[in-house]
Amino acid sequence: MAEAKPVVVTTSPGFGKHGRVPELIEARGWEFIRCTDTSLPDGGLSEHIARADALVVGLVPVTAETLAQGSKLKAVIKHGVGVDNIDIPACTAAGLPVCNTPAANADAVAELAVGLMFSMARFIPQGHASVTSGGWERRIGTQLGGKTLGIVGLGNIGKRLAKLALGLGMTVVATDKYPDEAFAAEHGVTFVPLEELLAQSDYVSLHVFGGEGNAALINAEALKLMKPDAKLINLARGEVVDLDAVAAALEAGTLGGVAIDAYVSEPPDVSHPVFSHPNAVFTPHSGADTKEALENVGLMVIESLDALFAGDTPPRCLNAGDLAGP
């Protein structure tokens, strides 16, 4: 009897679609199941998790209940970096390695952050809307050179953003739980406490993980510390920003603008007042959505799957030490 093909289930809309990734998946002969039906809360995962040998995760939560249905599971692999939607302790308890793809999409996210800064500085969305509606409203913007960018979370993405901003002639300050002093010294980045960063910065870009520790990190009190014409960028997770507080600050004129790519619920409820403010820019959680980044992430996922199905511990395993314990 022929050996059964490994079953790979994914909740990531982007996995297996870009660059060399589709042909590599086909060449391996895996049974590949995509659970990305947006009309279902879990994309359809509950219908297929029982058959999965490996789960490649997008933004759908992976809970203890999910794992209980996946009796064949051998690993949980994030198609991306942030693993705040994966219950890692539950995976560890079930003996499942959890992997991700650090740095694979860092350039893409950092470049979008720069794009959003330009969008707000030069009123690009508003200019587009004016011209296409038959108008000709010319608004006076500002240049990025000479401004201060505050990066909250100087990890792989934050470091790439810092280099881009420095190349534009910006001053960069940062805060990080584990500051890389060598990088900061080499590139002229200054670490400051969050309160000082908020007070000094013309632009604040968020690049921290979600989860309880960072919930409402930018709240009403934090916004009061910012310059009244400062602009906020959230490419992290939706819960990092208090949207009610942001909408109130925009309306009061104590925040110059906001650009948001990540939301608590996706798609978001656009009846919230922040979505109708003229100084707000929105993108559909697309920070990592470039052909290059999606190929890079996909290749790293395949590398992890290859190791897993060969009987080895996959690379970039976040809970390897706990799994190796008694």
Tens-digit pLDDT profile for residues 44-85: 999 999 999 999 999 899 999 999 999 999 999 999 998 999
Per-residue pLDDT tens digits for 149-203? 999 999 999 999 999 999 999 999 999 999 999 999 999 999 999 999 999 999 9
Report residue 325's pLDDT band, with 50, 70 and 90 as the boundaries: low
Residue 32: φ, ψ to 5°: -115, 120
| The pLDDT of residue 68 | 96
As given in the structure block, the two tokens for residue 230 are 């400062």
pLDDT at 216 over 70: yes
How much is the mean pLDDT over the chain?
Answer: 95
Q: Which conformational region is residue 200 in: left (phi greater than 0), alpha (psi within -120 to 50 degrees), or beta? A: alpha
Q: What is the amino acid identity at position 245?
A: A
pLDDT at 326 over 50: no
| The pLDDT of residue 91 | 97
Q: How many helices (H) and strands (E) does the chain have?
A: 13, 12
Q: Say if domain 106-282 classifies as CATH 3.40.50.720.
A: yes
**Is it true that 7-103+290-323 and 106-282 share their CATH fold?**
yes
Sheet holding 190-191, edge to edge: 190-191, 171-175, 148-152, 203-206, 231-234, 257-260, 280-282
Instruction: Determine whether 199 is exposed, middle or buried from the number of CB atoms within 10 Å of its CB (0-12, 13-18, 19+).
Output: middle
Instruction: Determine whether 123 is exposed, middle or buried from the number of CB atoms within 10 Å of its CB (0-12, 13-18, 19+).
Output: buried
Compute the distance between CA of residue 222 and CA of residue 206 in angstroms, rounded to an integer.
Answer: 13
Sequence ranges of the domains in the chain: 7-103+290-323, 106-282
> Which residues are annotated as catalytic?
237, 266, 285
Compute the distance between CA of residue 45 and CA of residue 59 in angstroms, rounded to an integer.
Answer: 12
Per-residue pLDDT tens digits for 12-43? 999 999 999 999 999 999 999 999 998 998 99
pLDDT at 324 over 70: no
Contact between residue 208 and residue 235 where contact means Cβ atoms under 8 Å apart: no
Report residue 302's pLDDT band, with 50, 70 and 90 as the boundaries: very high
Residues 6+ apart with CB under 8 A from 206: 152, 153, 217, 218, 232, 233, 234, 235, 236, 240, 241
Per-residue pLDDT tens digits for 241-290? 999 999 999 999 999 999 999 999 989 999 999 999 999 999 999 999 99
Overall pTM > 0.85: yes
Q: 7-103+290-323: which CATH topology?
A: Rossmann fold (3.40.50)
